[in-house]
Amino acid sequence: MSTFLYRLGRTAFDRPWLFIAGWLAVLAVVVGGVLVNGVSVSSEMKIEGTEAQTVLDRVAAELPEASGGQASVVFAAPEGERLDTAERLAVISDTVGDVYDLEKVVNPLDAALGAAQERTPAAPPGRAPKGPPAGSDREASPYQPLMVDGQPVPGVLVSSDGRVALFQFQFTVASTSLADEDVSSVVEVVERAERGTGITVLPGDSLKAIEIHVGIGEVIGLAVASLVLVLTLGSLIAAGLPLVTALVGVGIGVGGAYALSTAVEMNSATPVLGLMVGLAVGIDYALFVVNRQRRLILDRGLTAREAAGRAVGTAGSAVFFAGLTVLIALTALTVIGIAMLSMMALVAAATVAMAVLIALTLLPALLGLVGERICSDRARHRHRVKGTHLAQHGRHRLEAESHSVADRWVKGVITFRWPVVVGVVAILGVAAIPAANMNMGLPSGATANYDTAARQSYEAVSASFGQGFNGPLLITAEPTGTVGRITPELTAKLIADFQERADVVLAAPVGVTKDGDLAVFSVIPTSGPDDEATSNLVKSLREPDNAIAQDNRVQLGVTGFTAIGIDMSDKLADVLPVYLGIIVILSILILTLVFRSVVVPIKATLGFLLSILATFGVTTAVFQWGWLSGLFGVDTGGPLMSFMPIIATGILYGLAMDYQVFLVSSMREAHIHGQSARQSVVHGFDQASRVVVAAAIIMVAVFSGFIFSHDVMIKQIGFALAAGILIDAFIVRITLVPALMAIFDNNAWWLPRWLERLLPDLDIEGDKLLTMLKNQAEATAPQMVDVRN
């Protein structure tokens, strides 16, 4: 591998425009694909095979007009005023009518739907809305239909004090499948009601526009990454190359995802996830190669051409296998069988693959254009002075001075290795404690910030009507046994039975199929979408032997956004341990191949488990418990995104193994070249720690830029990745790893002979390359060529 990559790097250096033109052509094709196909992403989140999704698919097939997404808008009068003035009533009535006239909004008065399928959330004829359960602090009848000229406004309820009105309506398609323009058109219509009326309009959470989550936070993250690159590489030219290659990589990877978005279903978070990962690994991989080339030029006196070839052959080998671990970790998510997660994982994996290929081809081509300017005259002069100092005072003194911080750190860790191990395990164990109470769910108005319309709408609905109106359930009933069809009498009986439950506020008919095989009802719980009581209600209604199903001889199904969120959280919570098991097995196999050791893979995997559990704990403490949440732009606690833990696990595993490969391969290289086990830990740490720390800071900066996104989903993923990198790079890899390597001493590199014979030699340290160069040098002019690495 190292010899092949050496030749590839030399070729790219010698023929830069050929490789640059090739990558520009690929980028042009991607841009052309986006322009021709357009972009189509949605906020849709579904997991095939869950009960809620199965029921929703059935409703969509047999009663499509009842399967559309539900949305709500709050109209609020100023404090101390009412909405039932003639002017305000006329405005609200006209606004509601204009919304119903929109193309993808269901009109409950449409004759084709019939009276039985009316969408008004009022109670059925002959029954008043049921008040809250006994003992509630709310009034017995906290709402009633909004009346205009003696007629109810379809879909609108008004609070008992007349100050707040709730407008609920339904789309013809699932709310998560709506295009941005569909949502924007509704928001534009309802916001007209604010003009000169004193009414405040608050669209609900389902009416948020789909955002492309890139803003000032991401720009600041890139700026910090740029500063770290300049400080690490000591040159603006050298620092600019990783940024250029990373941007090309994400341009192709993320652009390709957008180009394909019209052909495959894609969540709006998917390309953003690819952007996060692509930027971070793209910068880091290029940094490793450029840093190795500069070190070979300055420390060994090689030409830029020879140094580029060797850098691609040695550091490039580490980049290849590090990238391979990320790819395996991400593509392993497809084994779970969840289409949404598979698409996210594949797009992120594609951006990582681009980062690896670009670091091995486009980067050496750009180095060819830069030539000897990759190291400034000032840097060369400084190293010549150090070289003179080396000749006068000896090599070991220079290295101690060159790596003073790293050298003192690793020697201190080795000296106090047992207290360090105990301390790290204790700290990460305590940090992981909140993960035991981690709750998962989907974003809703309850988790939005207080200054958003979605949160204000949620609070207004909860205060005036009850939390359950923020998350209505969609209940289906199918006849069983001797019940041939759903009749109007049975429909009324089911509604009465639903409303008799203490955990249900209101039930209303939504629709019945023409043959009476399926009826759909809207049921309002007494509890909010994220409450455990709502989850218990859903599970209770699904029980085959529940009283309502038995008494009416029907089979009940539960769906709707709230039920989908409950099922998604349960499903992902079930598969997370399975995926962690897959990761553990893959980790041990891959690292055994790379390091040819039994101990190193096991301790690396256990270290990752510590870091990922601590990451979950810290993320739970901030976003669920609200600890220090104000620092990260979060002003209220709530459940963690359902798929965040499993996505973070896949990405963080790959990135953790990056640092493991770069750090420990340097130790292994020193050990193979004759140093003792403990000396190899010190020498390898001195050589690799600086660039590993720089790479970790860059990744943290890039991921942190996404923490301040307005979207809680992106915010949580960005925080988890940034916190995970901080924990794994600085606590596990930089602290725990050298301590454990010192404890195991020579045993760290033990490998059974039978296994050694079976394993292929991947040559990640570049020994075969050095041997080839040495033989070539001896055959030509050995005294003129330095083959040291």
* pLDDT one-digit tens code per residue, 283-311: 889 998 998 888 888 878 888 888 898 88
Burial of 454 (0-12, 13-18, 19+ CB in 10 A): buried
Answer whether residue 218 shows pLDDT above 80.
no
**Residue 87: its pLDDT value, please?**
92
Answer whether residue 561 shows pLDDT above 60.
yes
Lowest mean pLDDT among 58-72, 693-707, 737-751: 58-72
**Residue 386: its pLDDT value, please?**
60
Lowest mean pLDDT among 53-57, 65-69, 674-678: 65-69
Give the angle subtended at the CA of 595 by the CAs of 593 and 596, to the nearest 5°.
Answer: 65
pLDDT band at 363 (very low <50, low <70, confident <90, very high): very high
Contacts of 426 (CB under 8 A, 6+ apart): none
Smallest CA-to-CA distance from 583 within 565, 601, 568 is with 601
Q: How far is CA 295 from CA 285, 384, 408, 714, in A?
A: 16, 13, 21, 38
**Residue 726: its pLDDT value, please?**
94
Lowest mean pLDDT among 250-259, 649-658, 768-777: 768-777
pLDDT band at 228 (very low <50, low <70, confident <90, very high): confident
Lowest mean pLDDT among 35-49, 148-162, 526-540, 760-774: 760-774
Q: What are phi and psi of 558, to 5 degrees?
A: -125, 130
Burial of 752 (0-12, 13-18, 19+ CB in 10 A): exposed
Contacts of 757 (CB under 8 A, 6+ apart): none
* Distance between CA atoms of residues 423 and 568, nearest Å: 37
Smallest CA-to-CA distance from 73 within 209, 206, 210 is with 206
Contacts of 423 (CB under 8 A, 6+ apart): none
Answer whether residue 545 shows pLDDT above 90.
no
* pLDDT one-digit tens code per residue, 381-398: 666 666 555 555 555 544
- Provide the token pair at 199: 């009414």
* pLDDT one-digit tens code per residue, 1-60: 778 888 898 999 999 999 999 999 999 999 998 888 877 776 666 777 788 888 988 888
Mean pLDDT score, 322-346:
85
DSSP 676: -
**Residue 644: its pLDDT value, please?**
87
Q: What burial letters (b/e) apply to 485-513, b meaning 16+ CB within 10 Å?
A: ebeeebbeebbebbbebebbbbbbbbbbb
In single-letter form, the type of residue at position 662 comes to F
pTM over 0.85: no
Q: How far is CA 665 from the centre of its chain?
A: 29
Mean pLDDT score, 155-168:
91
**Residue 11: its pLDDT value, please?**
92
- The answer to whether the beta carbons of residues 615 and 428 sit under 8 Å apart is no
**Rg of the chain, C-alpha, whole Å:** 31
* pLDDT one-digit tens code per residue, 432-453: 999 999 988 877 788 778 888 8
Computed over every residue of the chain, the mean pLDDT equals: 83
**Residue 114: its pLDDT value, please?**
44
Mean pLDDT score, 678-688:
88
Lowest mean pLDDT among 211-220, 262-271, 464-473, 564-573: 211-220
Q: Which of 14-23, 340-349, 707-716 has the largest mean confidence?
A: 14-23
Mean pLDDT score, 206-232:
75
Q: What are phi and psi of 151, to 5 degrees?
A: -120, 140
Contacts of 462 (CB under 8 A, 6+ apart): 469, 470, 528
User: Greater confidence, 270 or 377?
Assistant: 270
pLDDT band at 431 (very low <50, low <70, confident <90, very high): very high
